């Protein structure tokens, strides 16, 4: 599969009006692993941080494809995969945008609800931090874009585990460290967002101007 950098445009819960109260980026690598960070627009604090894997499921009638999103790290549900897993059914709207419908947990209302999300596929090469450029059919070739997956395994020192994915110029990482979540976004290795008090210790090797390898956090490249 081709790697995908997705930015959410809006979400509609049940019969509510569509809106967007987060800055949500999802980086999905060529092996189906993903890092999903939803940052509250008002507080600049993560609303939900997720790492996981896409799994294809039988396509629901009327849609182009259906996916199960298996959560591995989940800042809302913790180690409860049955509560955290969600199912999405997709259809294209334009070349760069798609509709996703399904059921998942609503963090604000603390219950599972039906939803409709509009996603935009972003060009990770031509975009900049202040201007996300949607992919264009006559310019973008996803098969030529490199994606890299780095993992901190469950047996890493100091109880740290997580994932960082790079697609083109963009990287996003999420780690749970001693029960606390840390998050970083970089563009050409320059930090554009960070959350948590241990970001430099954990993600230093991916940060321009730091690029330090900390033996306490033994990142391993697992894809490709």
Token digits of residue 191: 């930090």
SS3 call for 90: strand
Element (H, E) at 83: helix 81-84
Mean pLDDT, residues 38-46 taken together: 98
Token digits of residue 195: 């959350």
pLDDT in tens, 45-55: 999 999 999 99
Pick the residue with more confidence: 86 or 167? 167
The percent of residues in the chain predicted with pLDDT above 70, rounded, is 96
Dihedral sign, Cα of residue 154, residue 156, residue 159, residue 161: negative
pLDDT in tens, 145-201: 999 999 998 666 668 999 999 999 999 999 999 999 999 999 999 999 999 999 999
Q: What is the pLDDT of residue 157?
A: 65
pLDDT at 35 over 70: yes
pLDDT at 82 over 80: no
SS3 call for 191: strand
Question: What is the C-alpha to C-alpha distance for residues 50 and 64, in angstroms, rounded to an integer?
Answer: 25
Q: 170: which strand partners? A: 167, 187
Q: What is the pLDDT of residue 197?
A: 96
For each of the domains in the chain, give its residue range(s) and CATH number, in order of start. 4-121 (2.40.128.320), 142-223 (2.40.128.310)
Q: 164: which strand partners? A: 150, 173
Query: pLDDT band at 208, cuts 50/70/90?
Result: confident
């Amino acid at each position: 599969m081709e790697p995908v950098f997705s930015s959410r445009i809006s979400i509609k819960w049940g019969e509510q009006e569509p809106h967007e109260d987060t800055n949500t980026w999802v980086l999905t690598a060529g092996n189906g692993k993903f890092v999903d960070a939803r940052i509250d627009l008002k507080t600049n604090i993560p609303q939900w941080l997720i790492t996981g894997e896409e799994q294809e499921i039988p396509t629901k009638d009327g849609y182009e494809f259906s996916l199960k999103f298996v959560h591995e790290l989940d800042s809302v549900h913790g180690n409860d995969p049955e509560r955290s897993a969600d199912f999405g059914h997709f259809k294209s709207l334009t070349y760069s945008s798609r509709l996703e419908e399904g059921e998942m947990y609503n963090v604000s209302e603390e219950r599972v609800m039906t939803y409709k999300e509009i996603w935009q596929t972003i060009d990770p090469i031509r975009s900049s931090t202040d201007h996300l450029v949607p992919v264009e059919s006559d310019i973008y070739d996803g098969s030529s874009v490199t994606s890299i997956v780095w993992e901190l395994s469950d047996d890493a020192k100091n109880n740290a585990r997580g994932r960082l994915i790079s697609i083109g110029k963009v990287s996003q990482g999420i780690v749970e460290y001693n029960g606390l979540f840390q998050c970083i976004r970089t563009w050409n290795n320059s930090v554009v967002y960070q959350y948590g008090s241990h970001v430099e210790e954990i993600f230093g090797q991916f940060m321009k101007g730091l690029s330090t390898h900390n033996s306490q956090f033994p990142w391993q490249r697992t894809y490709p």
